[in-house]
Each structure stands twice: as C-alpha cells, then as structure tokens.
C-alpha cells in the first residue's frame, strides 16, 4: 500500500489549478476524496475526472472564509467517510495593489480567504486528523510566503502568515507527539487561474496583470506542482518549494538577507508594466 491508497483526503479549492491536479493525482493513487470549492462548474469537472479514475468522491460548495460552514463541513466529511487522514488547505485568491492605494476591504478579503481559510480548515479538521492515527495537514503558502514583492503586500501578509502558522503547528504536533505530519508548500509560477481571477486596485488594468503573469511568470503546470507536493508529503517534508525559480529566490533571500528587497524592487520597477 502506498502513502495515499485508501486514505481520506480533503482538498479545498479543488475546482481548478493545483487543487484539481492534487485530486486527480490522489485519485490515481487510490485515495478517497472530499473536494470543495466555490466554483461549482470547475468542481464538477474535477469530480468527473477523479471518478473516471475510480475514486470515491464527496463534493461540496464551500467558502473557506465562512468559519461555521467549514466546521460543519468537517463534521459532514467525517460522517460520510468515517475518518479524515489528509487535509490540503489549497483554496486561495489573489489581489494586486500598493498599500497606499489599497482599501482596507481589499486587504481583509485576501486575509479572510488566504489566511483565515487555512486556519479554519486546519482547526476544523485537526481533531479528526489526530484521531485517524496517521494524519497529515498540508497548507499551501507561496513563493510570496518566502519573499515579499511590491504590489503584493496583502497576498504577502496572508502567505507569510500561513507559513508561520503552519511551521508552529508542525512543532506543536511534535511536542504533543500527535500522529500528524505537517507540510507548508511554497509554489512559484504555476499555470493556474489565480492571476486571471485576481482583483486589482482601482485604476489598474486587471487584464495586463493576468497576461503578464500567464506569459512571463507561469512556468510550471499544476500537474508538476501536485506531483512535487505529493512527493514531499510522502516523504514527510516540513517544507516543499515548487519550481526552480522559487528555490532560487528563496536561496537568494537567505544568502543576502534584506538586501534582496532592493533587487526585487528594481526588477519590478523595470519589468512589471503595472508598477510603472
């Protein structure tokens, strides 16, 4: 039996991108899937692909920012499958805008989904994952949870928070000797819909931002990301960095420290059209 066969895996944001790729990969490995998203059409397609591979699937509409709904969802998944072994807190949204021009509501929305969504999913499922006796919590941060960039202050804040939350959780599981592994994932440029669906500050062209991301920064497929993530999960890694560019920038920031900020700021001002 592999690390995933027969295991019950919960994936938020399963309607597209990395979430869908995780679902399909896990289906191939014999996992049972609890999939959720706010995109009902995308979720239905993911379910179709997973079931075509023979997976048992429970699918639900879920907004991860709604805490009571997430708590109820966890109970429903356990009632359906009897247990939960793995949780992939993947759901997320993007926003581009300088601090000076951003509204409080824009920053709060990113934090509600990208940070509190992870907290809600972790807290709701953690007792069940512990009870399974063979659990794993996988929280999706970002390259932007390792380095900061201009125009991404809200997203940076959320993803840095996910990193801190997840790394502390891993230590707590070790201290308590709970049978739960914890992994924080930092994807680089992945070809997903997150940029195309991103909101931007007033006066900025959302299409320009999305096109630049898709053509210049989205270097890797969601399938490659899922494969890398599951390899790290199988090995019990604390951190999984996805993509050569994410690894390179992580190493750069570690070597030169805060000086990386001036380098990134200069590069953004020169090459990123929405920053001018």
Q: Name the residues annotated as catalytic.
A: 155
Residue 222 · residue 20 · CB < 8 Å: yes
What order do you get walking across the sheet with 135-140 strand by strand? 57-61, 32-37, 8-12, 86-89, 135-140, 180-187, 239-242
Half-sphere CA count of 128, side-chain side, radius 13 A? 26
Q: In angstroms, rounded to a whole number, what is the distance separating the alpha carbons of residues 229 and 22? A: 8
Q: What is the DSSP letter of 220?
A: B
Residue 258, helix vs strand vs coil:
helix
Using N-to-C axis directions, what is the helix angle for 116-132 and 153-176, rounded to 10°?
Answer: 20
Residue 138, beta-bridge partner list = 88, 183
CA 35, CA 65: separation in Å to the nearest integer?
Answer: 16
Measure the CA–CA gap between 38 and 43, rounded to whole angstroms: 8
Q: Are 183 and 139 in contact (CB under 8 A)?
A: yes
**Among 68, 70, 106, CA closest to 91:** 70
d(CA 10, CA 85): 8
CA dihedral 113→115→118→120, nearest 10 degrees, is -80
């Amino acid at each position: 039996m592999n690390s995933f066969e027969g295991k019950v895996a919960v994936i938020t944001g399963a309607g597209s991108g990395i979430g869908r790729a995780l679902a399909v990969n896990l289906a191939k490995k014999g996992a049972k899937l609890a999939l959720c998203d706010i995109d009902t059409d995308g979720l239905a397609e993911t379910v179709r692909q997973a079931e075509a591979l023979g997976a048992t699937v429970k699918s639900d509409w879920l907004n991860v920012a709604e805490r009571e709904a997430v708590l109820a969802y966890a109970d429903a998944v356990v009632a359906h499958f009897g247990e939960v072994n793995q949780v992939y807190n993947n759901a997320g949204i993007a926003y581009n805008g300088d601090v000076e021009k951003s509204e409080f509501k824009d920053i709060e929305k990113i934090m509600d989904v990208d940070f509190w969504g992870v907290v809600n999913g972790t807290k709701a499922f953690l007792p069940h994952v512990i009870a399974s006796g063979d659990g794993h919590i996988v929280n999706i941060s970002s390259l932007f949870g390792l380095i900061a960039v201009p125009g991404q202050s809200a997203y940076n804040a959320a993803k840095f928070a996910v990193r801190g939350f997840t790394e502390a959780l891993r230590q707590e599981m070790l201290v308590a000797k709970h049978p739960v592994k914890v992994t924080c994932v930092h994807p680089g440029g992945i070809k997903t819909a997150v940029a195309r669906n991103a909101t931007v500050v007033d006066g900025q062209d959302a299409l320009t931002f999305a096109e630049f991301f898709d053509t210049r920064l989205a270097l890797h497929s969601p399938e490659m990301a899922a494969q890398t993530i599951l390899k790290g999960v199988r090995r019990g890694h604390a951190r999984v960095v996805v993509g050569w560019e994410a690894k390179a920038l992580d190493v750069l920031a570690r070597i030169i420290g805060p000086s990386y900020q001036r380098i990134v700021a200069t590069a953004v001002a020169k090459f990123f059209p929405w920053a001018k």
